[in-house]
């Protein structure tokens, strides 16, 4: 299964909520910050958004969101993924009017997003129905894969912001598409720059599949760990397309991640090369530390 975020991934806008705000000339940054600080829950945050619009007819909202353009290559990407046998899902904390439109246009199987509640007269009530909390998208993913009878490692997750990081946890492959911040870049297995969604296809169409491994070392000091990171920095490692090596330091801990579509042989040889490089760096550091 391939799981997409909506805003900034399948559609070329930053946020369906903000798109409506801009159309009405309003802003909800204050309550957005309150939600990030957990001073208000997501339901209250949605309510504060919706009530800024002064209860318009739902047709006005539909018109605003129907003008949101699909991301470049979205049609072709979903078509090719379905040919490969993938099921497709949208998990978005945005507005369901847009998510449902994209689901219908692209022939996507599943869509989870948040509804605007409407009265019998077609006027917004000022309330919303929460389905996907901004910071808890993984809860929806877990429920969906349980229904489908698959494991999280059989999912590819694709997002563009830090709010998609919970989706990345435990997925088979996580892709930061045209990422908005360094947090999502760091969390993802793979980073795709630019706004052409078709760039993800070579990573998902390879017959050898996706191989991924992570390992880590804990050193006696943060300084030593920092030196090891420098020894395996990207500038020192020229990798071909289809092979990603990521290393990061957390205090005295060095974590390494390798992702490849070039087969298990490439994965094993890359591990061997990295371990050799780390061993040499450790040896040099030990000599330096022991020197008078």
Q: What is the CA radius of gyration of the chain?
A: 22
In a 13 Å sphere around the CA of 159, the CA atoms on its Cβ side amount to: 34
Give Dmax (Cα) for the chain.
Answer: 85
Q: With left for phi above 0 and alpha for psi between -120 and 50, is residue 127 left, alpha or beta?
A: beta
Size of the chain, expressed as the number of residues it contains: 292
Contact 105, 117 (CB under 8 A): no
- Note if 7 is an active site residue: yes
DSSP-derived 3-state class of residue 60: helix
Q: 191 pairs with which residues across the strands?
A: 176
156-159 and 2-4 strand pairing: parallel
Nearest to 8 by CA among 209, 218, 177, 198: 177
Tell me how far CA of residue 90 lies from CA of 122, 156, 159, in angstroms: 26, 12, 10
Could you say which of 7, 49, 138, 160 is catalytic? 7
- Note if 5 is an active site residue: yes
Q: Catalytic positions, please?
A: 5, 7
């Amino acid at each position: 299964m391939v799981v997409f975020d909506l805003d900034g991934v399948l559609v070329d806008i930053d946020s369906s909520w903000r798109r409506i705000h801009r159309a009405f000339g309003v802003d909800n940054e204050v309550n957005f910050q309150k939600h990030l600080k957990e001073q208000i829950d997501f339901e209250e945050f949605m309510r504060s958004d919706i009530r800024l619009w002064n209860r318009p007819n739902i047709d006005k909202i539909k018109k605003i969101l129907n003008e949101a353009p699909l991301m470049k290559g979205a049609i072709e990407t979903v078509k090719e993924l379905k040919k490969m046998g993938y099921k497709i899902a949208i998990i978005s904390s945005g507005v369901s009017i847009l998510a449902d439109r994209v689901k219908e246009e692209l022939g996507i199987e599943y869509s989870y997003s948040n509804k605007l509640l409407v009265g019998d007269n077609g006027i917004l009530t000022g309330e919303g129905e929460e389905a996907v909390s901004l910071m808890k998208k993984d809860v929806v993913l877990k429920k969906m894969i349980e229904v489908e009878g698959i494991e999280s490692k059989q999912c590819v997750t694709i997002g563009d912001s830090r709010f998609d990081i919970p989706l990345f946890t435990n997925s088979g492959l996580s892709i930061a598409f045209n990422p908005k911040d360094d947090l999502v870049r760091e969390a993802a297995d793979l980073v795709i720059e630019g706004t052409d969604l078709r760039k993800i296809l070579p990573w998902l169409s390879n017959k050898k599949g996706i191989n991924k491994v992570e390992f880590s070392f804990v050193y006696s000091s943060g300084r030593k760990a920092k030196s090891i990171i420098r020894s395996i920095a990207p500038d020192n490692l020229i990798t071909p397309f289809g092979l990603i090596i990521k290393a990061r330091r957390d205090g005295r801990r060095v974590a390494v991640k390798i992702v490849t579509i070039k087969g298990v042989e490439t994965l094993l040889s890359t591990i061997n090369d990295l371990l050799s490089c780390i061993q040499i760096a450790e040896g040099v550091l030990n000599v330096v530390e022991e020197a008078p």
